[in-house]
């Protein structure tokens, strides 16, 4: 290869470096544009995961509820929860579904997130998340968990924090229990092979574990808000998106409330299960037995605050956060 003269090479290197940095900055600053077209219709890209916890997107599209509210939705299904935040921050999606605790963590780190509409709501009779032990386990109640290993799907998220609150409130030192993070599909096998003694599972993994002889011993979410309802998944976007599109935020909020009412109506259970089965690739048998989540119809600070307080209690938020500051205003 012919040697490149030094000056020319230095210039080329500088040019390449500038282009690289420029690309990084441009990517990082991906802006939000208005989503309402000239015809008044709203075009939204929504990122979600294929599970019941964030399934309103599928129901709203399948039932034509978004379209009836003037919103044309493109669904962007991603593999896991971390990708949801990435989809919003990179501008690939206008809104996505995630946990309020994740939003609060992001905001405390300076990320411009704001909550727009509720996802799943906890109720005492439908807690959503259960601590399950395998068949033949000597663990009978929460007090027996001391000295054992518990699997959760992600550390420092609500399942983990709620479990720590449950231990503490039940008189067990949370430090005496080891928590490990494992993907939901791996938790049951980890219990069967004795690597963990219990796992925090959600539907349909809870039902699968029970079918294999597992037992539910507690629902840690009972310890989040004193057994009172709270919303533990939400639809969120960037503050820039919400600021530039207040009408879209208001419209989406109304549409999502209607989706939730439709989904919560027992008369629509079969249609809902069919939508879910198609979206998640579950067999009809699994989809027909899994209990259905209850979706929230409104997003108030009271439905969020207890989770943020739990984050402060266990040190994953550095200082108290007022839930009201995390909810987009929008105009109706």
| Chain positions contacting other proteins, by CB under 8 A | 3, 6, 9-10, 13-14, 17-18, 20-21, 24-25, 28-29, 82, 85, 89, 102, 105-106, 109-112, 151, 154-157, 178, 180-183, 186, 189-190, 193, 195-196, 316
Which residue number, 43 or 154, has a Cβ lying nearer to other proteins?
154
> What DSSP letter does each residue of 254-291 carry, written as one string?
HHHHHHHHHHH-GGGHHHHHHHHHHHH---HHHHHHSP
| Rounded CA separation 33/137 (Å) | 54
Shortest spacing between CB 196 and other proteins, in angstroms: 8
Smallest distance, other proteins to C-beta of residue 307, A: 14
9 versus 124: smaller Cβ distance to other proteins: 9
Alpha carbons 232 and 226: distance in angstroms, whole number:
14
- In whole angstroms, the minimum distance from the beta carbon of 68 to other proteins comes to 35
CB of 94 to other proteins, least distance (A): 18
Spatial strand order of the sheet with 149-152 comes to 178-181, 149-152, 198-202, 129-133, 215-218
- Cβ nearer to other proteins, comparing 105 with 286: 105
Name the residue nearer to other proteins (CB basis): 25 or 79: 25
Spell out a b/e string for 290-325, using b for 16 or more CB atoms within 10 Å of the CB, else e. bebbbbbbebeeebbbbbbbbbeeeebbeeebebee
C-alpha torsion angle, residues 169, 173, 174, 179 (rounded to 10)? -130
- Cβ-based nearer residue to other proteins, 25 or 267: 25
Shortest reach from residue 181's CB to other proteins, in Å: 6
């Amino acid at each position: 290869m012919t040697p490149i003269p030094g000056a020319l090479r230095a210039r080329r290197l500088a040019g390449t470096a500038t282009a690289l940095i420029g690309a990084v900055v441009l990517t990082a600053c991906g802006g939000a544009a208005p989503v309402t077209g000239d015809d008044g219709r709203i075009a939204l890209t929504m990122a979600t995961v294929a599970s019941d916890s964030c399934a309103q997107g599928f129901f709203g599209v399948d039932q034509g509820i978004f379209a009836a509210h003037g919103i044309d939705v493109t669904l962007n299904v991603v593999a896991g929860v971390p990708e949801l935040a990435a989809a919003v921050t990179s501008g690939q999606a206008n809104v996505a579904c995630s946990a309020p605790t994740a939003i609060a963590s992001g905001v405390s780190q300076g990320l411009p997130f704001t909550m727009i509409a509720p996802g799943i709501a906890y109720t005492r009779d439908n807690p959503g998340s259960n601590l399950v032990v395998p068949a033949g386990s000597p663990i009978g109640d929460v007090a027996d968990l001391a000295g054992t290993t518990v699997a959760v799907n992600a550390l420092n998220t609500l399942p983990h924090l709620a479990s720590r609150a449950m231990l503490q409130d039940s008189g067990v030192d949370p430090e005496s229990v080891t928590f490990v993070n494992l993907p939901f599909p791996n938790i049951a096998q980890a219990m069967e092979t004795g690597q963990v003694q219990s796992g925090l599972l959600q539907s349909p993994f809870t039902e699968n574990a029970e079918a294999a002889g597992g037992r539910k011993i507690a629902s840690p979410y009972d310890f989040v808000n004193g057994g009172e309802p709270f919303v533990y998944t939400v639809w969120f976007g960037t503050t820039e998106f919400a600021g530039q599109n207040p009408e879209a935020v208001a419209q989406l909020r109304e549409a999502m409330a209607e989706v939730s009412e439709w989904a919560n109506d027992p008369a629509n259970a079969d249609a809902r299960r069919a939508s879910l089965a198609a979206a998640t690739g579950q067999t009809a048998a699994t989809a027909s037995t899994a209990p259905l989540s209850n979706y929230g119809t409104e997003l108030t600070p009271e439905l969020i605050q207890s989770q943020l307080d739990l984050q402060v209690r266990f040190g994953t938020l550095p200082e108290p956060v007022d839930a009201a500051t995390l909810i987009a205003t929008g105009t109706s």
